[in-house]
Structure 1
């Protein structure tokens, strides 16, 4: 199912706060997000828009993570959010490479059904 492409006027639209949690060698456990206020310590807060692509987010993560800047680094993205019962779930949404191009890199948060309040967990493999 293809979602309609959303274009945001970034001059007129207020950005959203995206809470990004990075981890080297794999994703965090969904249990790491169980208690509000006690999320993993390796958090980066990014102000962005719903039309941000995984490539844009990759470049932002590279600014704060030396490991993500390695030539062979692969970044795996997953959303963490509560399901209908209130239990957190983790849903993989795509992979990018630090320097090489990959098919997922042009996917936007909106296309991937990101909801305000979701966390973004990024596993960095290098």
Structure 2
């Protein structure tokens, strides 16, 4: 029986440029990415096996001013932001629309008992989560997508803020997006069901760009657009 092909190492793979957006206390609205003037962000050269832990460390090292001091106990809540290409041809020269998907969160810990970011490490303090090991590839990330994160400082009593406390604002049109894991579904989503939360009926599950979308309930076609 043939052995599986060896996994390509980062030394043998060309990195790509990722835009990582950040904000304190709240996630970005999808419509904020429709403007030519994008929210504050950093650039990260990375690979498809990059984890949420690595992204958090990159942000902490590049933008320490975005974190309170000390930074231990800050939770970073991540989302994937991707273009919704299904209706791009509906209106000529219309700006792209975006969908979002929750990726998880990580917590900055202080194993060295130091207040400096250089000496902090990441620890998913909640025992029911292992989000720090999730990768871009497992999130169905495609080069050109965005990653955004909300920085949640520790609570007044020093405890870690729960991920559920992150603010999710409505879009400028009053239509809320990103309530749950949208678009391409969760890390282990199924190819079933529809969700009417991102600009109309939207298929749940792990859908890749270029796949033919199914017919919605009631026989209504969702069109043949790519996303």
Same fold (TM over 0.5): yes
Change (3 A) 1:77 1:107: same
Q: Which position in structure 2 is the counterpart of 1:105?
A: 132
Give the whole-Å Cα distance in 1 for the aligned partners of 2:73 and 2:8.
32
Give the whole-Å Cα distance in 2 for the aligned partners of 1:121 and 1:8.
27
Change (3 A) 1:32 1:115: same
Q: Which position in structure 1 is the counterpart of 2:12?
A: 12
Coordinate RMSD, CA, aligned: 1.6
Give the whole-Å Cα distance in 2 for the aligned partners of 1:53 and 1:65.
19
- How far the C-alpha of 1:25 sits from its partner, in A, is 0.8
Q: Which position in structure 1 is the counterpart of 2:51?
A: 53
TM-score by length of 1: 0.86
Q: Which position in structure 2 is the counterpart of 1:3?
A: none
Q: Which position in structure 2 is the counterpart of 1:39?
A: 38
Which protein has the bigger strand share? Answer: 1
Quick check: which has more Rg, 1 or 2?
A: 2
- How far the C-alpha of 1:94 sits from its partner, in A, is 1.0
Tell me, which stretches of 5 or more residues in structure 2 are unaligned? 1-6, 89-96, 110-122, 154-227
* 1:81 aligned onto 2:107: no
- How far the C-alpha of 1:8 sits from its partner, in A, is 4.0
- How far the C-alpha of 1:85 sits from its partner, in A, is 2.4
Give the whole-Å Cα distance in 2 for the aligned partners of 1:96 and 1:8.
26
Give the whole-Å Cα distance in 1 for the aligned partners of 2:43 and 2:8.
20
- How far the C-alpha of 1:112 sits from its partner, in A, is 1.1
Give the whole-Å Cα distance in 1 for the aligned partners of 2:20 and 2:12.
24
Change (3 A) 1:48 1:8: farther
